[in-house]
Chain A
Amino acid sequence: MKLDLITGLYVFMLAAFIGFEVIRRVSPLLHTPLMSLTNALDAIAVVGAIILVGEGKSRLATILGTIAIVAATSNIVGGFMITDRMLKMFKASGPRKP
């Protein structure tokens, strides 16, 4: 689907503002999981690589795209896994939840 430059810039600007406002509220307690989570979300770039490889327009695109899928997928899988592992460890004091 076509996306013109100006619309793209609007999208970028609004997303950046939302990002600032939302992420500013993340407690410093969770800055490490924040980084691993945004890293996993960023690996959504995999959709670009999937289309590139799937369309198979050139051998170069297939080779580079496949490596790109490997790199991004490892970020998605590893990123979500470790973020969840970290967050599971954060417990409040007092009556412990199961």
Chain B
Amino acid sequence: MTNMIASEYILEIAYLIATALFVLSLKWLSSPVTARRGVWAGEAGMLLAIVGTLLHGGIVSYRWIAIGLVLGTMIGVPLGKVAMTAVPQRTALSHAFGALCVTLVGTSEFYLRAPNVPGFMMGVLSLEVILGALTFTGSLMAAGKLQEVLPQRPITYKGQNFVNLGLLAIAIGIGATLVKHPDKMYLFPFMIGIPLVFGVMMIIPIGGADMPTVISLLNSYAGLSAAAMGFVLQSKLLIIAGALDGASGFILSVNMSKAMNRSFTNVLFGAFGQEQVTAKGAKEARPVRSASPEEAAGILTAASKVVIVPGYGMAVAQAQHKVRELYDALTKRGVDVKFGIHPVAGRMPGHMNVLLAEADIPYDKLLEMDEINGDFPQTDVALIIGANDVTNPAAREDTSSPIYGMPILDVDKAHTVMVIKRGMGAGFAGIENPLYYMDKTLMLFGDAKNFVGSIVREISGGHN
């Protein structure tokens, strides 16, 4: 410590303050009231750390740093301005960028140090580039599927898990070999290439409904790879930021897998879309009751308590602004309107909340599953817009159902259930939803946006 020069102290203090600001940033995010302060704390910490680093004595040339910062800002600004419906793919893309940064720095560090890399250093370096590389391609694949430039349909084949785990095992094996023999530098490109392939293979079997879990998992991997990079560079700041990000992704992954009733190992090993237990043959056309916008409007205005359950279908139909008009029209007539949000509704954690908040619906009307479920027996109308499996009572009652045990929104306990749906197709998992055949259920067939719009017209037309 004695021979540490003053500028190093200053840099370390800057990093220390930045670390504190990062923790505060996440702490303030706990409530919508303080959340924006959290962003400012994060920005201040980031600025402090970057400026401190730039002033650090070891830097001999600023040319390429400046070019990198300018180009990065030019790419970052449009990515900060995407539409709210595109947030899931933007998030996946940013996981890819984060992982790319970590992988490239790890690669450079290896070639700067090899062949004299101490065992422990090589171990964390391997971890860094393996996690970074698979997160990079995995996130790009996820972003491609979400943006619909890649087919969203899960692609599965026999022995898929075997192939994937085999690839991962080979990559880890190479890492272990390099720990023992860091002079075998020709192995290093394989340790990057194989995880790159693994990342693609990992996402191939993923369908849209599994995206919330996958994005959370990739988030966690990106954080862990950054923490590993912190060990390589001996930077406490980076270890802490990586650990925070990793913890966040981990918590979200666990939440999502619980909300889909998948075990965590099932999620970890990418056995995602594979529980396609086909809904067995018995597909006799059972009668359903359908209703027109006029009838729906009549029932809604006569209600005193309405719970709206949005799902990905609402996002696809871009119906959130029409839903806000419905909310306004009903609230004006004294109807109590709340929203019940399932944790895996949409394509990423919290997706529905962001869309509804964008449509100006107050956040205290957006209730989580556990908060709203007790209210359904006293609810006059449960209106389901573009959600399916998360409302399926079979998850509660039918032990033979593939989604048995998955926590659902108990919409079937409301006095009347209305479902806006394009047709009678089954949900993501191909599972019949008995909810649709209940006596108290009215099916509202049509496009979510148009149908909600018609209801709103009926309500305000009748009023004036």
Contacts and interface: CB of A to CB of B under 8 A. Distances in A.
Q: Main secondary structure on chain B at its contact with chain A?
A: helix
A88 to B, nearest CB: 7
B235 A3 contact: yes
Given A1-B234, A43-B101, A53-B65, A34 B243 contact: no
Interface string A35-64: 111111111111111111111111011101
B56 A51 contact: yes
A30 B29 contact: yes
Contact of A74 (B23, B76, B353): B76
A60 B111 contact: yes
B102 interface: yes
A83 B226 CA distance: 21
A97 B77 CA distance: 27
B248 to A, nearest CB: 4
B386 interface: no
Contacts of A56: 60-61, 64
A72 B98 contact: yes
Nearest to A19: B247
Contacts of A49: 68, 101, 104-105
B364 interface: yes
A2 B365 CA distance: 51
24 contacts: A1-B8, A1-B12, A8-B231, A12-B240, A15-B243, A32-B91, A32-B353, A35-B350, A41-B241, A42-B241, A44-B49, A45-B242, A50-B53, A50-B65, A55-B58, A56-B64, A67-B104, A70-B71, A72-B72, A73-B76, A74-B76, A75-B98, A86-B357, A92-B364
Interface in B250-274: 250-252, 255
Given A39-B94, A73-B73, A91-B360, A60 B29 contact: no
Given A51-B56, A90-B35, A93-B364, A19 B244 contact: yes
Contacts of B100: 67-68, 71
A11 to B, nearest CB: 5
Interface stretch (B79-87, B167-175, B417-425): B79-87
B246 A16 contact: yes
Interface string A73-92: 11111111111111111111
B229 interface: yes
Contacts of A40: 42, 46
Contact of A45 (B12, B26, B65, B101): B101
A66 B64 contact: yes
Nearest to A49: B105
Contact of B91 (A2, A5, A36, A68): A36
B408 interface: no
Contacts of A18: 23, 244
Contact of B98 (A24, A25, A43, A47): A43
Contacts of A15: 239-240, 243-244, 247
Nearest to A16: B243
A11 B365 contact: no
Interface in B421-455: none
Contact of A23 (B26, B33, B54, B222): B26
Contact of A19 (B67, B243, B343): B243
B62 A54 contact: yes
B60 A54 contact: yes
B94 A51 contact: no
Given A1-B8, A22-B23, A29-B32, A8 B234 contact: yes
Contacts of A47: 49-50, 53, 235, 237-238
A25 B239 CA distance: 22
Contacts of B112: 57-58, 61
A9 B149 CA distance: 41
Given A54-B59, A74-B76, A33 B350 contact: yes
B399 interface: no
A67 B246 CA distance: 23
Contacts of B252: 31, 34-35
A97 to B, nearest CB: 10
Contact of A27 (B23, B30, B61, B78): B30
Closest A-B pairs by Cβ, 5 of them: A73-B72, A81-B80, A69-B68, A77-B76, A19-B247
Contacts of B67: 66
B231 A33 contact: no
A56 B58 CA distance: 10
B322 interface: no
B193 to A, nearest CB: 15
Given A15-B240, A29-B353, A50 B50 contact: yes
